[in-house]
Structure formats: C-alpha cells, structure tokens
Structure 1
C-alpha cells in the first residue's frame, strides 16, 4: 500500500474521530439536561409541568423517529446556514448532533427511572430544593446509567458518521465508498471496517470502565 493511501486512511480516521467527538460533546451538553427535564417535569416529580413534559416528549420522539439519512438531507439548508457548506466533516457534525440529542435524552431519562423514589422523598422531607435534588440526588445516583447512555450514543455516532461519509460527509465512510466500493478495492473496504470496529471497541471499553468506576462503592 502506498504512502499516499496510508495518509488518506489516517486523515479519514481523524475526520471520523473529529465528527464523533464534536457531535458527542455538543449532544451530551444538550441531551443530558433534556433527559433530566423529561424526568423532573413529569406529573408527581419535583418540577411537575405536565404540559411542558408533553411538548418535550413529542419533540424528542419526533427527533428519534426520523431516519438519520433522511434527517441529514432534510436539514441541508440549516446545515449550510450554520457552517457555510453541506459537505465535509463540519457539515456532517450538524445532523449527527441533532440526531444524538433526543437519543441521549431518552437514555438519560431511562437511567433516572432506575433511581429509588424513596431517595427523592427523603431529600424532600429534609427540605431540599428541586435543584438540590437534581444536583445531589438524581445525577449522582444515575451516574452509571448516564455513562452507559453516552457510550451507546458514541458507538451509534460512529456508525452514523460512516453513513454520513457515504453522502459527502468525509471520514472513513467516504474513504470506503470512494476508494473501496467505487474502485473495486476490497482491501480498502476491509481496512475501513477494521478501523471502525477497533474504534467502537475502544469507546465501549472506555465507557465500561467509567461505568465501573462510577458504581464503585
């Protein structure tokens, strides 16, 4: 394999990590608070707001129901307005982020569902404010579940980034399509798949480690 091809593989790998990294960070910053809001605004919870909860739930469900490839095409005007282009890694990071936010939110909400309601009741009986309950009870107790949610999301973003690459997003998906599939080079295809597998295994192992550390008593 030529040095030029090795450089292309390295660049594609870095592009994929960039897309996954930036979309993962931004979606976590938005998705975790959204997941908490979905939980605490339920009827009977510390910030019960049934109407707000219903609206948030509908928006989140709509976001989760749109297939990624359709979402990517549908928001091209928004992507172009935001980053100035509809192709490349920066452009691909926009739909990746939008797709991941509701995904994380529902997973975080599920993690909060696992918390013993008695802990919240005990905090309320001691006069804790809703913010104190969220900050000192809900988030610490759900830490392991939140790390699991983030791990699942990052792994999903790796596969989505490859899909984005197939339609001009760059990264390993673009490399596999242009130099592997279109040029009938199965070696490049196998290399891109192998790198994606290693990437997923690495993220999963890191996530599992963080979950174990957070659950350590």
Structure 2
C-alpha cells in the first residue's frame, strides 16, 4: 500500500510504481487551530506567514508584495513567523524596501504558539516557489483559524485552497500578482470575512485530523484484511 498526502504527489509517485496509490491528506487539530474570536479589522491589517526562512518558500516575494501594499496602506504590518538560514537576507530586504519598522521576524516559535500567531494575521500567504510543497499544512492551519490565504500554484497548494472561495492562487515567483491578490482582500473586507468562514468549513469537512486519521486506519485495516484472505 502506498499513501500520498496530495494528488500532485500521487501523480509524481506513480512514475515509479504500478501499485495503487491512496491519497490520504494531512489533517490539523481543530481544537487548537481555530479563530480566537477577535473582531475582524478593517484597517491596520497584518499580513503574515509561518514558514522556514528559505527561498523555496517565497519569503522574498512576500516581502516585496507587502511593500507594494504598504505604499498605499501605511498602517499595514507584516508578521513572519519562523527562522532559517536566510533570515538576515530577508531582514536586509525589508530594510531596503523601507518596511523594516513594520515587519516583525519572530524567529522560531514553539508549535503550541503557532495558532496564536496565525490569529494575529488578517491575510496569510504561502508563496512557495518549488513543487516540493507537496501539501500545504500551513495554509490549512490558517484556514482553520478563519484567515483567508493566498498561495502560489506549486505542488499541492492549489489542492487545499478553493480559488475565490477560501483564498486566491497566484503564479509562483510573481510579487506583482501576489500583491494584486492582497489588494483585493484589503479593499473588500466582506470578501475577506466570507473567505475566512468558508475556510473554516472547508477544513472541518476535509482536513480534521481525527477524521483523516480514522480514514487512514480504515485503509490499513482493509489492506490487512485483503492480505489475510489472499
């Protein structure tokens, strides 16, 4: 039995085997990743991500896109949660774009604090640049918290986001398109709120880790039973 967390990974795996591949997506703990009840903001919006600080996650594109938004919305902020080998480079980029004073790099945070940081954000971005992004757990965690997401069209990211309903999918390595998606969310708070609600429901229906774990357990049992009968 071969399991894959996404359809795109299943297609890639299928190149190396003729066995059946079952798609068993990751889930998130909905008792932890949930809205904190704070009222939706209409100004002073916080953009953010939770990722390792590496080029493959498009952090530079996020910083550049946010800088474009900040030009018109000077009360906006950028929150980057995570650490990595290119942190100093990204801090320098933010400084060169004149947004260092409104950009926070938290460094590594304990996993149990991640929901708190996501709930500080109004718009969540995963602008990854490589297909190695096989699923998109960070995007699912953000949707579970009721935060609309903007992701790039790589790997399994487009599978977890419903375009125009829970967020937007944009071309990779394209800060202009990323900023354009941000702008739509900034200028349309009602759309932002609706996407947040849709995201919560989408995750409950498809990415509850209890349901997904039970589904995988059932798959294991079916496979074992077939083996015993053969």
State the TM-score, normalized to the length of structure 2: 0.28
Whose Rg is larger?
1
Specify which structure has the higher proportion of strand: 2
Specify which structure has the higher proportion of helix: 1
State the TM-score, normalized to the length of structure 1: 0.29
